[in-house]
Amino acid sequence: MTLFLFGPTARLGCQLLLLVLAVYTSSCAGARSAKDIVSEDHHQIRSFAFVGTDNVWLVSENEGNLLLTNNGGRDWVTVQGQAVGSRFQSVGFLDDKRGLAVNSKGQVWKSVDGGLKWAQVAELQSAKPSEWQFMSSAQIQFVDELRALIVETFTIWRTDDGGNTWRRIFSVLNPETKGQPDSVYFLNFNFGWVITSDGRAFQTFDGGDNWVTVSLGKSVNAKDVAFANWQTRFVLAFSSLPPYSQIYRTMDAGKTWTSLSLLDPNAVISSISLVNEHEGWAAGEIWTGDPKTSTAVLLHTLDGGNNWHRVQLPQAEPFFYRVRFVDSQHGWLFARDNIYRTDDSGNNWQIVLKFPPAKTDHDADR
């Protein structure tokens, strides 16, 4: 499962809290890791973007349509995939008006009215088609008005002119950067992280022209990354045996790491959102060994991950696969068929969008 982390571009002078979702590999024959459990969960949203507290854009996995709201989910508008020539694949917005999208053909489209209308401005292409062809994309991140990043299956693309031209800055063809890019987060134009499909982490200090490997310790294979504070960083690791999810924290920019514990050893966390260096949220499921009886879990910390408490929602869900807080009060939570929102720091959650029930491999076993 690919996890995507978006957030406001921070200033270099501010502190940065970095959170990395990682995967432990297991040598046990036939063992199903937490990564396998998460990958089997069916997600109805493939890409999303947030601007402020009320503007949200979602790309539906099944239909390839764009759903958007500018009032916190009270009303939704559906933009059909034909608005971008086929199906929406990924979406990103700089503000409440200006955004970019990639369609299923690898074409790049621009909107200046909040996503209602789109115009093609570019197409992702390689000088050697035999080496690279567009497959899919699920993440776009703006760095500033002119600079943005598109993450697709094998490559990260960068624009320096608002989306009119693109060049590759990260590729599986580069021997220095192993694996497909799973998750990308740039704090500013120069400094960014990439997590790859084989669990490696890379960082750049020059906008992606050069990459260096980040050492996270033995057996810890990174899966995702998020920022909120410069010195303090978290790593969340998976295992094929309980505890399925383990959090590691550094307070010295990665020189040393401390192991932290979650509430339940059977918790499989797929998403974490950080409000600041003290407050964070973790979402996933409590794995029972049977997908028919596993249940969603939402955890909250106020002390930098030393202690977590479980937050109960009014409705049972099989799993959560994305939690995102845009500030300390306003947050979004993605379940299998429902999108939740809170306006009071997570004390109360309301369903603001429902999808038709998803059919999964789990359902076929029932």
List, for residues 39-55, the tens digit of each pLDDT value: 455 789 999 999 999 99
Res. 365: pLDDT tops 50: no
Residue-wise pLDDT for 52-84, tens only, equals 999 999 999 999 999 999 999 999 999 999 999
Average pLDDT on 320-324 reads 93
What pLDDT band is residue 124 in, cutting at 50, 70 and 90? very high
Q: What is the pLDDT of residues 264-288, one digit of tens each?
A: 888 888 888 889 888 989 999 998 8
- Is pLDDT of 293 > 80? yes
CATH 2.130.10.10 is the classification of domain 18-364? yes
pTM of the model: 0.85
Question: Looking at residue 15, what is its pLDDT?
Answer: 40
Supply the pLDDT for residue 234: 62
For 73-77, 141-145, 243-247, which range has the lowest pLDDT when averaged over its residues? 243-247
**Residue 223 in this model has a pLDDT that exceeds 60:** yes
Model confidence at 9, pLDDT cuts 50, 70, 90, reads very low
Closest CA to 99 of 70, 62, 126: 70
pLDDT level of residue 137 (50, 70, 90 thresholds): very high
Query: ∠235-240-242 over CA atoms, to 5°?
Result: 80
Average pLDDT, the chain: 83
Q: What is the pLDDT of residues 186-209, one digit of tens each?
A: 888 898 888 888 777 888 999 999
Q: Which residues contact 125 (CB under 8 A, 6 or more apart)?
A: 106
pLDDT confidence bin for 332, thresholds 50/70/90: very high
pLDDT at 359: 65
Give backbone dihedrals phi and psi of 146, rounded to 5 degrees, phi first.
-100, -25
Q: pLDDT tens-digit profile of 155-173?
A: 999 999 999 999 999 988 8
Q: Mean pLDDT, to the nearest integer, of 23-27?
A: 40
Angle at 49 between CA 103 and CA 320, to 5 degrees: 105
Q: What CA dihedral angle connects 212, 216, 222 and 224, to 10 degrees?
A: -80
Joined together, the tokens standing for residue 133 give 């062809």
**Can you give the pLDDT at residue 178?**
77
pLDDT at 320 over 90: yes
The answer to whether 62 touches 330, Cβ cutoff 8 Å, is no
Q: Which residues pair with 197 in a beta bridge?
A: none
Query: 24 pLDDT band (50/70/90 cuts)?
Result: very low
Three-class secondary structure assignment of the chain: CCCCCCCCCCCCCCCCCEEEEEECCCCCCCCCCHHHHHHHCCCCEEEEEEECCCEEEEEECCCCCEEEECCCCCCCEEECHHHHCCCEEEEEECCCCCEEEEECCCEEEEECCCCCCCEEEEECCCCCCCCCCCCCEEEEEECCCCCEEEEECCEEEEECCCCCCCEEEEECCCCCCCCCEEEEEECCCCCEEEEECCCCEEEECCCCCCCEEECCCCCCEEEEEEECCCCCEEEEEECCCCCCEEEEEECCCCCCCEEECCCCCCEEEEEEEECCCCCEEEEEEECCCCCCCCEEEEEEECCCCCCCEECCCCCCCCCEEEEEECCCCCEEEEECCEEEEECCCCCCCEEEEECCCCCCHHHHCC
